[in-house]
Amino acid sequence: MQPWFVYILQCRDGSLYTGVAVDVAKRFAAHQAGKGAKYTRAHPPDSIALILPCANRSVAQKIEYAIKQLSTAEKRALLDGKNAALMPRFTIDSMGMWMEAI
């Protein structure tokens, strides 16, 4: 099974954008070219701030949703390596892949 990734982009205006993709580099290039999401067309991305490898698409989409529910301060804490906001529902397996906690 091919891994999916959740990514957070740092936009030029300081805002953050969260998405999912199989190929983050290709998706980031699409966002930069103005062919990505509507949000990134209005807020061009500057860099990839975080990439989280996920066990599958379902987990990636659930983590994306969870991140989108966080406040900006919580998202910045996530970027600083403080994953506590996601820990109740998700965990990291021995291979470094995010998955749902059992």
Question: 100, 60 in Cβ contact below 8 A?
Answer: no
- The per-residue pLDDT for 46 is 96
Among 2.50.20, 3.40.1440, 3.30.310, 3.40.50, name the CATH number for the domain at 4-100.
3.40.1440
Tens of pLDDT, residues 31-53: 999 998 999 999 999 999 999 99
Q: Compute the distance between CA of residue 59 and CA of residue 90 in angstroms, rounded to an integer.
A: 9
More confident residue, 17 or 2: 17
Three-state DSSP class for 74? Answer: helix
- The per-residue pLDDT for 85 is 66
Domain residue ranges of the chain, discontinuous segments joined by +: 4-100
- DSSP line for 28-68: HHHHHTT-S-HHHHHS-EEEEEEEEEESSHHHHHHHHHHHH
